[in-house]
Chains A and B, each alone.
Chain A
């Protein structure tokens, strides 16, 4: 992998074309420039971490990619085709799933209900079409299947309410939901911020499992060891611009922090 600076990142394997690509995104909030011409490319089967200090534009960048904000300038391409997201639902419909920092799970609903929240499956036949009866059994079965596929074995009881789960298990539910619907890209916003060591490791393993299933992941994190543990490439934001894109092999954590804070350039 090569180190790049400024211009769009080089592909990890040059033959692949990016799944998600952003070109020269600009976003201003009044006089504050949130994003100042940021480009980013996400390739199949990779974990791309985005790091940066507070106010560096991480969140704004992610919000533009996931439809929560509309960039003032620049283009976003999904599978090579230009996309214009107006709402988070647009991005989701296009296959970009986001797991939010505050965990968008419903505590009183059970695991299976949470996995299918907002896209419930109805029973076949007249029961489903006329009486709109949910296929609860089918959803539970598929939920179990999906969790197994991701290697989440601690969540066998899909009928248990999410509020009875540990923080790591809740995160696993949120990630499993993001991965469950044929998504092309999964965006994880600070997935380990509220977790202990053991649970963080479980979530990082889940991120690797996602990548191994072929779903590329964008990971926003403040936690350098986690980023260097799991990321293939690291996009560093500084003052609204991309400072560099590095790899855990090419740079050390100290280098990354130096670039992040402006003490060094890549």
Chain B
């Protein structure tokens, strides 16, 4: 800005002092600045280190069969975490992601088997259920202005109950379903690693969402709404419309997750998704997305989901009890959120 005439230039000694002061920033500050600029960097570093360490601990860890297993274990949580990322970016949280996914998967499986609908129609119904569930959450958040935590805590229970009422608690086996429904579980070879269609679907979903978040006005508005709702509103963004669209998009993603889940487990079980809501939040948080909204990337979430998968798999290969896996994930969450807090203090 051009200086007004009333204000003289600061003497050079002061400038010199100022630059010296800036130069005195520690290496730690520089690290923090870089992490602030590239939020996916810290989970990427953690993932690489984890892979190297687990690879050294056990030869079987890097074996193609094991890598294939990890990708398949990550596919469902990774997909749910896409929906969770969208919502957390708006400074919300969705405790109902697992319940919506299970409800959708039961609707797909039941309508295809008991009602004898063609697979494509059953999937379409699953999509409609996912979108309706998302819209329901969105309406409660935008119209009743309830906190997303409370809304989805309530709908979590509602959707779980609806699922059990609808399915009578019975599991539908994959062998009874049309082939299209379990297609997501079929695998093919990529350089010796068996990759399932579900994993590919998840990756495509990440690419599409990364494009939308990074390159479109809608994506930018999602960040703006999560960053500061009032600022977004004053800038002319319809905050409620953005929130509504985020919850609906999340519902659609969860329906894709339902399809991947059916293929992965070769079944549709009403009791399948109990921990998936928390696991998806874990992936998002470890991936460097801020629970306060407005900060984070979808690729960080993929890294977060992979970190959780790698830790669980690596620790179990190292012969540790499953309890230690849970312990490790817990520590990871605390560390990730602490790092996020520390990064956010940058230049304040």
Chain A CB within 8 A of B234 CB: yes
Asked, given contacts A89-B236, A104-B234, A117-B232, whether A109 binds B220 with beta carbons under 8 Å apart, the answer is yes
Asked, given contacts A89-B236, A118-B236, whether A104 binds B217 with beta carbons under 8 Å apart, the answer is no
> Is B235 a contact of A118 with CB atoms below 8 Å?
yes
Chain A CB within 8 A of B26 CB: no
Chain B CB within 8 A of A31 CB: no
Q: How large is the interface on A (under 10, 10 to 19, 20 to 34, 35 or more residues)?
A: 35 or more
**B218–chain A nearest beta-carbon distance, Å:** 8
B contact residues around A102 at 8 Å (CB) = 230
State in angstroms the CA–CA spacing of A91 and B294 once bound together: 28
Chain B CB within 8 A of A88 CB: yes
B contact residues around A114 at 8 Å (CB) = 235
A contact residues around B228 at 8 Å (CB) = 105-107
Query: Which residue in chain A gives the minimum CB-CB distance to B39?
Result: A108
State in angstroms the CA–CA spacing of A254 and B218 once bound together: 51
8 Å CB contact of B4 from A152, A177, A205 = A205
B contact residues around A106 at 8 Å (CB) = 223-224, 227-228, 231-232, 235, 294
Chain A 158-175, CB within 8 Å of chain B: the 1/0 string?
000001100011001000
Chain B CB within 8 A of A100 CB: yes
> Is A134 a contact of B223 with CB atoms below 8 Å?
no
Chain B CB within 8 A of A233 CB: no
A contact residues around B221 at 8 Å (CB) = 117-118
> Is A134 a contact of B227 with CB atoms below 8 Å?
no
State in angstroms the CA–CA spacing of A132 and B214 once bound together: 11
B contact residues around A151 at 8 Å (CB) = 1-2
Which of the candidate stretches A17-25, A196-204, A255-263 sits at the interface with the other chain? A196-204
Query: Which residue in chain A gives the minimum CB-CB distance to B218?
Result: A132
B contact residues around A103 at 8 Å (CB) = 231
Q: How many residues of B contact A (CB 8 A)?
A: 28
Chain A 135-163, CB within 8 Å of chain B: the 1/0 string?
01000000000000001111100000001
State in angstroms the CA–CA spacing of A113 and B224 once bound together: 10
> Is A205 a contact of B232 with CB atoms below 8 Å?
no
**A123–chain B nearest beta-carbon distance, Å:** 9
State in angstroms the CA–CA spacing of A102 and B177 once bound together: 57
> Is A105 a contact of B236 with CB atoms below 8 Å?
no
> Is A134 a contact of B1 with CB atoms below 8 Å?
no
**B226–chain A nearest beta-carbon distance, Å:** 8
Asked, given contacts A104-B234, A205-B2, whether A132 binds B217 with beta carbons under 8 Å apart, the answer is yes
State in angstroms the CA–CA spacing of A169 and B2 once bound together: 12
Q: Of residues B7, B216, B235, which shows the largest number of chain A Cβ atoms within 10 Å of its Cβ?
A: B235
**B25–chain A nearest beta-carbon distance, Å:** 14
A contact residues around B12 at 8 Å (CB) = none
State in angstroms the CA–CA spacing of A132 and B230 once bound together: 25
State in angstroms the CA–CA spacing of A134 and B7 once bound together: 40
Chain A CB within 8 A of B175 CB: no
Chain A 207-225, CB within 8 Å of chain B: the 1/0 string?
0000000000000000000
CB-CB nearest 3 A-B residue pairs: A104-B234, A118-B236, A120-B217
Interfacial residues, chain B to chain A (CB-CB below 8 A):
1-4, 6-7, 215-218, 220-221, 223-224, 227-228, 230-232, 234-237, 294-295, 346-348
Some 7 contacts from A to B, beta carbons below 8 A apart, are A106-B235, A107-B294, A117-B236, A120-B220, A133-B215, A154-B1, A177-B235
Interfacial residues, chain A to chain B (CB-CB below 8 A):
88-89, 92, 100, 102-109, 113-114, 117-120, 122, 131-134, 136, 151-155, 163-164, 168-169, 172, 177, 198, 201-202, 204-206
